[in-house]
Amino acid sequence: MPALFFASIMATMQKRLIFALVISAVLQAAPAWSQWQTESPGVIVAEAVMAPFPLAAEALGNARSNEAVDIRSEITAAITDIRFEEGAQVREGEVLLVLENSEPLADLAAAKAALVDSESQYRRSEELFKTKVVSASQLEQLEARRDADLAAVRAAESRLAHTVIRAPFAGQLGLRRVSLGSIVSPSTVITTLDDTSQIKLDFDVPEVFLPRLEKGLMVTAHSAAWPDLLFTGHVISIDTRVDPVSRTITVRALLPNEDSRLRPGMFLTVSLLKEDVVSLLIPEESLVPERSKQFVFVVGEGNVVERREVLTGRRRPGQIEILEGLQPGELVITEGTQKARPGAPVTIIEQK
């Protein structure tokens, strides 16, 4: 019994000794822990600098005719005369095709005969009206008949004009798709007509270039068909809408094409906005995205961190353009943003 009592006392003393040693160790480590807690985290920073950032937009464009149309008939009739050659240059108003016109000619002759008769009766009635032989209502009826016959003549002339197909503008004809004697209708494509003296070039550029886009900007284009030639033109129109999916806007340029090297449908590589621009640049890794916004951690006086929203512009490998939110010479954190806290100091380990 005394032995068990003695063993119990010894165990209790050992526990108290171990507890005392732990407390002593904790008290000795407290200053070091407190110092570690208050020590500023180390970060690597870079300076926001003004540097040359040439402004150039590259795009792929599709060539279109300055004017283009499918030549069709407005009526259904047989072809009696073909007056054009495939691929020929034609003038505005030049006759291309003549359709069977015997019925429109007959309608026009009948309408003219009726007009001659109604005009004659109206003139005689005017003289009789002066002598009160014809009443005013009778004269008005004859006048209305004359006007109706005149309208019928004009309608017949219009139908006859539809039997002659003319070029709506000057340009180059395409392939002939009908033959003499063919019956054509408004759905039949007879040939095509393109004004290729100038080429419209449509291409898409990122919306970031929108502030610098304007009519008259010079563009240059290359074609795989003519690798040694440079085609130049200028912007004539900018679309009113930005594509919500691609975030691009369509631009239309006009290129002179007197030598007819460019054809509608060709694929061209376009360059525009080649300007020597100096921009404010920072390393890409300093950006901290949050939803649709971009932030940077700026190291200010006393190495205190400030979280600041910025507006970004163009990018190039390793660098990004800052449009708003930073000033030249300010320091941004590139490595260590996870440890930085707004309003807390940091230790700058390295400046790039």
Q: Where are the domains of the chain?
A: 42-53+278-351, 57-65+195-275, 77-99+165-189, 101-162
Name every residue whose Cβ is closer than 8 Å to that of residue 314 and which is 6 or more positions away in sequence.
Answer: 53, 55, 208, 279, 320, 321
Amino acid making up residue 68: A
pLDDT at 48: 92
Fold classification of 42-53+278-351 (topology level)? 2.40.420
Quickly name the fold that domain 101-162 has: Helix Hairpins (1.10.287)
Environment class of 325 (CB within 10 Å of its CB; exposed 0-12, middle 13-18, buried 19+): middle
| Domain 57-65+195-275 fold | Elongation Factor Tu (Ef-tu); domain 3 (2.40.30)
* pLDDT (0 to 100) of residue 33: 38
Q: Which of 165, 162, 164, 172 is nearest to 67 (CA)?
A: 172
Residue-level pLDDT at 50: 92
| pLDDT (0 to 100) of residue 6 | 46
Question: Tell me, what's the pLDDT at 18?
Answer: 57
Pick the CATH number of 77-99+165-189 from 3.40.640.10, 3.30.43.10, 2.40.50.140, 2.40.50.100: 2.40.50.100
Give residue 60's pLDDT. Answer: 93
Looking at residue 260, its pLDDT comes to: 87
Report the pLDDT value the prediction gives residue 72, as an integer from 0 to 100.
96
For residue 208, the number of C-alpha atoms closer than 13 Å in the C-beta half-sphere is: 14
Question: What per-residue confidence (pLDDT) applies to 32?
Answer: 44
- Half-sphere exposure at residue 91, Cβ-oriented, CA atoms within 13 angstroms: 2
Which segments of the chain have a pLDDT < 70?
A: 1-39, 129, 133, 275
Residue 24: its pLDDT value, please? 55
Please check whether residue 220 is in contact with residue 272, taking contact to mean a CB–CB distance below 8 angstroms.
yes
